[in-house]
Amino acid sequence: MSNTEIQLTRHVAATPAKVWAVLTDLDAAATMLTGVIGTERITGEGYAVGTRWRETRKMLGKEANEEMWVAEVEPGRRTVVKANSRGADYTTSFTLAPSGAGTDLSMTFTADPDRSSFLARLLMKVFGRLGAKATEKMMAQDLRDIAAAAEAS
């Protein structure tokens, strides 16, 4: 089964530095991102490769906990966050590009179910569209929330 990939871009009326500061403030995520109920830092300080945290979100009416970690950082330009749950690998990348007086913020989410059991892959195939639609809605809200926080700073 192939990867699922969703990509969204939003223009933010703030400098890349302001967007980056909001995007990488893990400790403020629960107060800034509408869909995040809480975060718990596991390892690391600040925002660097290897930093791990547990994030609790409300999705499809239920709370979900995921352990996430920073996999790549190009300060002010790009970061990649990873998670692994139920045998699937999840990758979320954020790219910042100056655009006029603001920033174009792109978010790409990829789910790779290749290590999942046959049943999990089958369920992902059957319910994949529903999950992809919910994920896209969550991503769009995250981008709105990041933009609002960066524009207000």
With a cut of 70, say whether residue 65 has pLDDT above it: yes
| pLDDT value of residue 59 | 74
| pLDDT value of residue 122 | 55
The per-residue pLDDT for range 85-121, each reduced to its tens digit, is: 877 789 999 999 999 999 999 999 998 876 555 555 5
| pLDDT value of residue 116 | 53
Task: Select from 83, 93, 89, 128 the least CA-distant residue to 112.
Answer: 89
With a cut of 80, say whether residue 151 has pLDDT above it: yes
CA distance 8 to 137: 10
The per-residue pLDDT for range 23-34, each reduced to its tens digit, is: 999 999 999 999
Question: 104, 14 in Cβ contact below 8 A?
Answer: no
Helix, strand, or coil (residue 60): coil
Give the global pTM. Answer: 0.86
